[in-house]
Amino acid sequence: MIKIRTKMQNIKERKQKTLIPFIIAGLPEEDIGLNCIKAIEQGGCDILELGVPFSDPVADGEVIERFHHRGIRKGLNLAKSLDFASKIKNTTHLKLILFSYYNPIYKMGLDVFKKECRDAGIDSLIIPDMPLDEMPVLKQYGLEAIPLVAPSSTDDRIQMAAEQDPAFIYCVSVRGVTGVRSVFPEQEIKDYLKRVASITNAPLAMGFGISNPDQIRKFHEYADAFVIGSYLQQLIERNESRTNELPGIIEKTINGFMQATV
């Protein structure tokens, strides 16, 4: 099985950066969500970050928070998200990163969670509320997690993230929560990404706020991957009533971002 790190290396050899779209599992409806994900692949992506609806998504901004709460109202949870992931695996070639807060994983139990992830084709995990100090326990269960660092992270914390030997390190671009941003503190982020790169050889993925291809171009030489979440979820939210047109809108949008990764 090709792992996330191998896929990213393959993309790098094509002289591209990796684009990682984020989408909440099972929304707006399962069929619509699957069609959007197929469109993401058609747009040129190789990796997808799949979010598990959660009642208290403390790292997420207004747009993604709305999707979390919609999912909870529909009865979506970790088990149903993993079932949705298996359907993605059966219909696409995308590598899957599961984004979940830790409480649902703890409730399921790591032994069961490990088996369910394997059966669903999950390649890696992002658990934003799990401290770096506690992440090694996941490796004991054969689970690969992606550590997160932020502009406020000390060099020691970044070193701790690097010692996890991750497929990549997720570099939160700004202080605060996710959300569409038209303006970034450009030099501050470049300096921050350079600082992380000076401490680790792991690939770096920049996320939180990326909402247009020009932002990828601005940071192109400073990161190996770029995550788009709130912008994509907002696009789905605005066009979800146009079920026949939505996949085409998604594919065109993703293709535009992909052009910026070259």
Enumerate the active-site residues.
49, 60
Q: Round to whole Å and give the CA distance between 194 and 179.
A: 23
Pairing type for strands 47-51 and 18-24 reads parallel
Residue 165 neighbours by CB distance under 10 Å:
10
Q: Round to whole Å and give the CA distance between 255 and 213.
A: 10
Q: Round to whole Å and give the CA distance between 219 and 216.
A: 5
* Residue indicated by tokens 């890696």: 124
Is the preceding omega at residue 28 within 30 degrees of 0, hence cis?
yes
Enumerate the β-bridge partners of residue 172: 207
**Pair 97, 50: CB distance under 8 Å:** yes
- Which DSSP symbol is given to 77? -
For the beta sheet containing 95-99, the strands, ordered from the edge strand earlier in sequence to the opposite edge, are 122-126, 95-99, 47-51, 18-24, 225-228, 204-207, 169-172, 148-149
Looking from the CA of 202 toward its CB, the CA atoms found within 13 Å total 26
